């Protein structure tokens, strides 16, 4: 018999606490049988599947078919901002699945109106109108098309090591992975150097990162390569897939000035940094920069497919006059919009931006203590409840230690902690940490202890004392 389990806990605080039993939904699943079916029926889409089949999620935890309970420090795919199975989100999904799920794309419903109002009224002036799609790649595709229609130009600038999606225009502006094997990219795509404070060769005489010279150098190259039709630049405030690299203070303002000088729009992709994740309501608030277009996804839907494109009245009106079209089957769908509106209600009502900032400070302090202890940690970076821990073979040469990082990650998982390891050679072995922002200090400390035990019990971690 499956263990008893109550899926609807009475409060959000309780929904983020530990539970001792795995959820009953697939409690009788057989790991070995499922493994064989994975091999037989599932196609590869660009990643190697984890061996364990996940049969349940709740609060801050995931549960496997073989009975393993693991603290989820990546919020699913960096998306379950307020935890798995949050009771208020569950109720919204159930109510709208029953009474208001999906509509003709030209129809509008209260959840869409409410989400747009709540979102826009909490954003700076100049981000005045919104529409809603399904994925981050889709919202970036829509934003790039919007910039092209508004400016009448077609060249797009992205940053090295960026990740914006796998649709044509989003992928064309993405310089991390996924560009090979399909022939030419979209025409008119240009790349700025990645703002990597840890590894950049641009240095001042004192050895500090000279991002200003690097940025000017990059724009000089783009000006030389451009055919004179620069439309927009798209940027992440923290390059998560690249290894949690934070834009240096002042970088975003300088980038906007470069765009304005060339008559371009600035698009900021806050798929992972948006909605309190990085210690501010939006990461743009941290630098006091208002982009021409803002895109959201992941965190806005708490794991459901929901994304947003927000822009100014002027851009929205002008683009409409020029027949801008991004008409999809699931544009402005009521059910995911209702979830997004509830997510915003919860994070604002419960002051979760403050929790992200305070618990985030404790997270970074704990990770830096590990850095003091283990010489294999070359760098700790991030902001709020986003953190990157880069594993190296030697701190002086900064040579990546991919195999060591993998063994540390496997050990942490074995001990009950999942922290996504970015193992692609473009950025070396970096743990990407982003737990739900409902996490408590007790649970954070529990995760840090597991992580320390993983380092301590993995040969080659180079303890310093």
- Spell out the residues 6+ positions from residue 32 whose beta carbon is closer than 8 angstroms to its own: none
C-alpha distances in angstroms, 406 versus 45, 52, 286, 345, 391? 21, 16, 33, 38, 10
Residues noted as catalytic: 163, 236, 269, 272, 298, 432
Q: Within 10 Å of residue 318's Cβ, how many Cβ atoms?
A: 15
Token readout for 121 is: 């009224």
370 backbone dihedrals φ, ψ, rounded to 5°: -65, -40
- SS3 of 444, please? helix
Q: What does the CA dihedral 429, 434, 439, 443 come to, rounded to 10 degrees?
A: -10
**DSSP strands (E only) in 207-306:** 230-235, 238-239, 245-246, 265-269, 293-296
For CA atoms 205, 208, 214, 216, give the dihedral sign.
Answer: negative
121 backbone dihedrals φ, ψ, rounded to 5°: -70, -15
Q: What does the CA dihedral 409, 410, 416, 419 come to, rounded to 10 degrees?
A: 30
- Bridge partners, 312 (sequence order): none
CA pair distance 170, 465, nearest whole angstrom = 46
- Bridge partners, 238 (sequence order): 246
**Backbone dihedral region for residue 76 (phi beyond 0: left; psi -120 to 50: alpha; all else: beta):** left
């Amino acid at each position: 018999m499956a263990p008893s389990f109550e899926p609807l806990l009475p409060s959000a605080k309780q929904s983020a606490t530990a539970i001792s039993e795995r959820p009953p939904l697939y409690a009788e699943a057989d790991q070995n049988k499922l493994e064989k079916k994975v091999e037989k029926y599932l196609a590869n889409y660009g990643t190697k599947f984890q061996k364990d089949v996940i049969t349940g999620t709740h609060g801050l935890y995931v549960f496997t078919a073989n009975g393993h309970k693991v603290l989820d420090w990546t919020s699913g795919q960096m998306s379950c901002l307020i935890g798995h199975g949050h009771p208020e989100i569950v109720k919204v999904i159930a109510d709208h699945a029953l009474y208001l799920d999906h509509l003709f794309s030209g129809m509008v419903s209260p959840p869409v109106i409410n989400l747009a109002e709540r979102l826009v009224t909490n954003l700076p002036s100049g981000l005045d109108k919104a529409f809603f799609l399904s994925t981050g790649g889709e919202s970036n595709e829509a934003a790039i098309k919007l910039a092209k229609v508004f400016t009448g130009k077609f060249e797009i600038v992205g940053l090295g090591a960026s990740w914006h999606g796998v649709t044509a225009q989003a992928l064309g502006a993405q310089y991390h992975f996924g560009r090979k094997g399909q022939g030419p990219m979209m025409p008119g795509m240009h790349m700025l150097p990645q703002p990597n404070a840890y590894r950049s060769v641009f240095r001042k005489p004192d050895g500090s990162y000279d991002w200003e010279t690097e940025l000017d150098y990059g724009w000089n190259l783009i000006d030389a390569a451009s055919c004179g039709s620069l439309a927009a630049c798209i940027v992440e405030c923290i390059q998560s897939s690249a290894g949690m690299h934070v834009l240096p203070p002042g970088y975003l303002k300088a980038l906007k000035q470069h765009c304005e000088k060339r008559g371009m729009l600035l698009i900021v992709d806050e798929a992972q940094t948006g909605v309190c994740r990085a210690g501010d309501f939006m990461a743009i608030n941290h630098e006091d920069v208002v982009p021409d277009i803002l895109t959201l996804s992941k965190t806005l839907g708490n794991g459901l497919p929901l994304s947003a494109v927000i822009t100014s009245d002027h851009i929205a009106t002008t683009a409409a006059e020029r027949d801008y079209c991004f008409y999809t089957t699931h544009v402005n769908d009521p059910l995911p919009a209702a979830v997004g509106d509830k997510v915003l209600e919860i994070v604002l009502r419960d002051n979760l931006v403050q929790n992200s900032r305070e618990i985030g400070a404790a997270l970074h302090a704990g990770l830096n203590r590990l850095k003091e202890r283990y010489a294999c940690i070359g760098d700790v970076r991030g902001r709020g409840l986003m953190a990157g821990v880069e594993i190296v073979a030697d701190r002086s040469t900064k040579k990546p230690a991919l195999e060591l990082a993998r063994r540390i990650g496997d050990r942490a998982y074995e001990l009950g902690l999942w922290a996504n390891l970015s193992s692609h050679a473009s950025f070396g072995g970096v743990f990407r940490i982003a737990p739900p922002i409902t996490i408590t200090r007790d649970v954070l400390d529990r995760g840090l202890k597991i992580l320390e035990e993983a380092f301590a019990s993995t040969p080659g971690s180079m303890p310093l004392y």
